[in-house]
Amino acid sequence: MNDTKAVSAPLPGAQPDRMFPGLTPEQMARIAAHGRTRRVEAGEVLVEAGEESVRFFVVKKGQIDVVRLSGDAQEVVAICREGQFTGELNLLSGRRSLARLCVSEPGELIQLERDQLVDLVQADSELGEILMRAFILRRVELIARDVGDLVLVGSSHSAATLRIREFLSRNGQPYTSVDVERDPGVQELLDRFLVTVDEVPIVICHGRRMLRNPSNRQLADFLGFNDAIDRTRICDLVIVGAGPAGLAAAVYGASEGLEVLMLETNAPGGQAGTSSRIENYLGFPNGITGQDLALRAYTQASKFGARVLIAKTATRLHCERRPYSIEMDDGSQLQARSVPISWKRAYLACLRPETRGQGTSGVWPRRSVRGRTRSHSFIGC
């Protein structure tokens, strides 16, 4: 590989043994029962950076390099050896891969498609726990080390830059930030893409594709956040809003075998996701950051197969016939048998008028832990 700089691997995170655990032969045999085993040769690219619906691999023999691409440069950010496995949260959510996976030593791998992996983590609690913990720790480490191929060029004095930073961070997307006012090398980058100063912030992906001052929706489309989601299927539940209430509904629904899709204007976690520390959430005696809570809840929902459409807002609900139809701000529609609306303001502002007198609907109050009363709505049977 040209221009490749190997770093000490695995990633030097706080808990490397948990981030890159070694599986026993017995555990590997249980995984192999869900997929297939195949031989690989050195140099074979298993997954390309930016590829959708990536596969999951366990190394029985040989070695896989996890390679970060940045323009023409490549960097090995982690190595999977015998008994170790590939993947992080994007595997479950179906988003694009953040890195290239390349065989560096020939051998034998167990390969699972995404659906087979979802079945495995639901069916096998021991393996599910090992995999989920590793995926979460890896994602946290990737974010901490800005591993990815996304560069945001902007100014900390610009509202649009702050909006995009928040959108990327809250959606767990690693990126490298370059400040036009602080970094002297930035002009070269801007010249390369013929960008004028009033067109920043810009977002560059793979060192080639670029957006100028994108909206959150454009950014989500550009990064393929929603690509793996089939919007033509009729869902059992389409949940409006992926705050704590929506995420909880998704976990309960999906864990009962329902097909669940969430719609979220901004990022999973809602208001709670912006909190620096929540002290009164049941089960977390030391408190938990809002971002951490959102990541855990989103991962839990994904584990049961629930999906979330990011940067999509429900604008209208049609209840004239079943299945119900939910219109989104991009003009497209989703179909669902039931529609929990987790945000009172969304229900009152745009969704309620179409529902009057039709369908089975209910609004019930829920008292937040701070004592304020909030209402959640449910349309369906």
What are the residues binding ligand FAD (CB under 6 A)? 240-246, 263-266, 270-272, 274-275, 278-280, 313-314, 342-343, 346, 368-370, 374
Closer residue to ligand FAD (CB): 73 or 369: 369
| CA atoms of 118 and 98, how far apart (whole Å) | 19
Closer residue to ligand FAD (CB): 205 or 239: 239
CB-closest chain residue to ligand FAD:
243
What minimum distance in Å lies between the beta carbon of 186 and ligand FAD? 32
What minimum distance in Å lies between the beta carbon of 353 and ligand FAD? 14
DSSP string, 114-158: HHHHHHHHHH-HHHHHHHHHHHHHHHHHHHHTT-SSEEEEE-TT-
Closer residue to ligand FAD (CB): 65 or 264: 264
What minimum distance in Å lies between the beta carbon of 346 and ligand FAD? 3
Q: How big is the chain by its Cα radius of gyration, in Å?
A: 22
Closest CA to 326 of 360, 350, 344: 350
Given its phi and psi angles, is residue 159 left (phi above 0), alpha (psi -120 to 50 degrees) or beta?
alpha
What minimum distance in Å lies between the beta carbon of 290 and ligand FAD? 7
Closer residue to ligand FAD (CB): 24 or 286: 286
3-class DSSP state of 204: strand
Tokens 């590793």 label which residue? 134
What minimum distance in Å lies between the beta carbon of 173 and ligand FAD? 16
CA angle 255, 257, 261 (to 5 degrees): 80
Query: Where would I find the H helices in 242-362?
Result: 244-255, 290-303, 344-346
Closer residue to ligand FAD (CB): 58 or 249: 249
Closer residue to ligand FAD (CB): 9 or 229: 229
What minimum distance in Å lies between the beta carbon of 258 and ligand FAD? 19
Q: Are strands 260-264 and 234-240 parallel, antiparallel or unpaired?
A: parallel
